[in-house]
Amino acid sequence: MSAAPEQVVADEVAAALAAGRPVVALESTIITHGLPRPRNLAVARDLEATVRSGGAVPATIAVLDGRVHVGLTDAELARLAAADDVAKASVRDLPVLLARGADGATTVAATAHLARRAGVRVFATGGLGGVHRGAAATFDESADLPALARTPIVVVCAGVKSILDGAATLERLETLGVPLLGFRTRRLPGFTQVDGGQDLTWRVEDAAEVAAVRRRADDLGVTAAVVVARPVDADAALDPALHDRVLAEALAAAEAGGVTGKDVTPFLLDAMQRGTGGASLEANVAAVTGNTALAAEVAVALAAG
């Protein structure tokens, strides 16, 4: 294990990074706040296996006992999946958690930051955070967006979470200068929905093209993330009518319950899972799994030079 005072890099990850072999970072908020137990642990393990079968090394990232872990043991993964008091950690929470010796599950923003800091160049997640519906009144915009603007990594996602305002999120990504590539599509995917409703400027056809864009971004000093939006497979997507009906209920319940801040996204994801009888969970898992497989391909392409 390679260890700095604040960080533990798993042996396998450290060896791969030192040798320039492909590594894919995975987030941990999805384990603690995005998926129900016990499915969360099974999915976390499956995602690591997906990275491996794609020829890359998985590095699930989390904060444990006040230290950043880049690559978790199976026992650490299980501990995280079983705990119900782990903080959802965005970038701004990290210094506090480290100062206190606490645990934290990292969001897209925090995972991207920590992955890049450790030298990992590719990261897979489900749906990105973004601008919430009604943000003109609440100012609720995910810290994922400014983190993507300053973190030179590749993030493979299924577009923007469908609980959000996709059009507003696209505008913010444009303002923030974040390159956004549709994977074999010119439409912004909507997480559990194949089509989130907006057009994209750029479409790429394969992982090699993504790697080429990242390399050119690096050459140019473009320090934003390259975001790859891959639609969930059509046969795994959530039925749009069911999605819209349950989302309306979930948004109303969040408003009625006075849910704010970082509780909003976990509340809505949970309400969608319960309201669809688990169908949105299956679509979520399919999306993140497909993204993870593509992320491994991108990592392999980047490592190839």
Binding site for Mn ion (CB under 5 A): 140
Residue from 48, 88, 161, 262 carrying the catalytic annotation: 161
Q: Kindly name the residue from 27, 48, 141, 297 that is annotated as catalytic.
A: 27
Is residue 76 annotated as part of the catalytic site, yes or no? no
| Closest distance to Mn ion from the beta carbon of 260 (Å) | 8
147 versus 226: smaller Cβ distance to ligand PSU: 147
Give catalytic status of residue 297 as yes or no.
no
CB of 139 to ligand PSU, least distance (A): 13
> Smallest distance from the beta carbon of 16 to ligand PSU, in angstroms?
24
Closest residue by beta carbon to Mn ion: 140
Comparing CB distances to Mn ion, the nearer of 130 and 179 is 130
Binding stretches for ligand PSU (CB under 6 A): 27, 29-30, 33-34, 107-109, 125-127, 129, 142-144, 161, 262, 265, 269, 284, 288
Residue 44 binding target from ligand PSU, Mn ion, none, CB below 5 to 8 Å by type: none
Q: Which is nearer to ligand PSU, 88 or 121 (CB)?
A: 88
Name the residue among 279, 276, 281, 278 with its Cα closest to residue 249. Answer: 276
Q: Which does 165 bind (CB under 5 to 8 A by kind): ligand PSU, Mn ion, none?
A: none
> Is the four-CA dihedral 264, 266, 271, 273 of positive or negative sign?
positive
Q: How far is the CB of 267 from Mn ion (least distance, A)?
A: 11
Q: How many CA atoms lie within 13 A of 169 on its CB side?
A: 32
Q: Which is nearer to ligand PSU, 129 or 189 (CB)?
A: 129
- CB atoms near residue 143 (< 10 Å): 17
93 binds, among Mn ion, ligand PSU, none (CB under 5 to 8 A by kind): none
Q: What is the 3-state secondary structure (H, E, C) of the chain?
A: CEEECCEEECHHHHHHHHHCCCEEEECCHHHHHHCCCCHHHHHHHHHHHHHHHCCCEEEEEEEECCEEEECCCHHHHHHHHHCCCCEEECHHHHHHHHHHCCCEEECHHHHHHHHHHHCCCEEECCCECCEECCHHHHCCECCHHHHHHHCCCEEEECEECCCECHHHHHHHHHHCCCCEEEECCCECCECCECCCCCECCEEECCHHHHHHHHHHHHHHCCCCCEEEECCCCHHHCCCHHHHHHHHHHHHHHHHHCCCCHHHHHHHHHHHHHHHCCCHHHHHHHHHHHHHHHHHHHHHHHHHCC
From ligand PSU, Mn ion, none, interface partner of 34 (C-beta below 5 to 8 A by class): ligand PSU
Q: Residue 162 Cβ, how far from Mn ion at the closest point, in Å?
A: 16
Query: Do the beta carbons of residue 124 and residue 24 sit within 8 Å?
Result: yes
Q: State which residue, 11 or 255, has the beta carbon closest to ligand PSU.
A: 255
C-beta of 93 vs 301, nearer to ligand PSU = 93
Minimum gap (Å) between residue 153 Cβ and Mn ion: 21
Catalytic residues: 27, 161
